[in-house]
Amino acid sequence: MGHNVVLGAKKIGVARLINLGSSCMYPRGREHALHEDDLLSGKLEPTNEGYALAKILVAKLCDFVSAMQDGFQYRTIIPCNLYGRHDSFDPARSHMVPSIIRKLHQAKIQGHDSVEIWGDGQARREFMYAGDLADCIWRAVARFDTLPQMMNVGIGRDYTVDEYYTAAARIIGYQGRFLHNLNRPIGMRRKLLDIARSESWGWRPRTSLDAGLAASYDFYLRNGIQEGRP
């Protein structure tokens, strides 16, 4: 899809394009914050290798168009994991943060005294409120000439899975215990983006974890998702 969009845009003469990548593009097993130069420097996470390869292909295609076609500037923004309003809370396909919100809310209203967490809870993840990415994209549109060819966009720090559960429980008002299921997979131990380039460009996210979780939970409640509706 991305390949078709980029080549289609080039064919009809779109001179400027902002492509959205993914932190899944980076190699697995890195303990340091992932810099843009780490791209294609190691093996990918097997569980999302196909998605990662597709995103890498499109990002490199944007590089080639920019380098080989005069007057064309195709740039790539690489966001970390996202959450927020309008997210999917469907337990069959939701990502970690909306899954936590739904699980803790259900535990609260059903009176459960404990909630299961997969793994030991110490894997680290970086999640950014989706509204902050939207803000970054609008800034990129307005200041396109200053935008780097490839740029990470994240919050610059990560939290353990346990810390996400604790923060969400505080927002939701759940006071039960967390039980760790060590027989369940945990995925990568850490995935954090180096945001030095975006900071030098003059942008940082503004939404705290508590504020983002509160906005997400409010959306969940207002839209009746907890009652099984879409």
Active site (catalytic) residues: 51
Question: Pairing mode, if any, of strands 73-79 and 177-181?
Answer: unpaired
Q: Give 38's DSSP letter.
A: G
Whole-angstrom Cα distance, residue 193 to residue 33? 5
Residue by residue, DSSP assigns 113-165 as: SEEEEETTS--EE-EEEHHHHHHHHHHHHHTGGG--SEEEES-S--EEHHHHH
Whole-angstrom Cα distance, residue 84 to residue 219? 8
- What are the Cα distances from residue 223, in Å, to 87, 119, 134? 11, 31, 22
Long-range contacts made by residues 102-107, C-beta under 8 angstroms, separation at least 24? Answer: 102/220, 102/225, 102/226, 104/165, 104/168, 104/169, 104/172, 104/174, 105/172, 105/174, 105/217, 105/220, 105/221, 105/226, 106/226, 107/174, 107/176
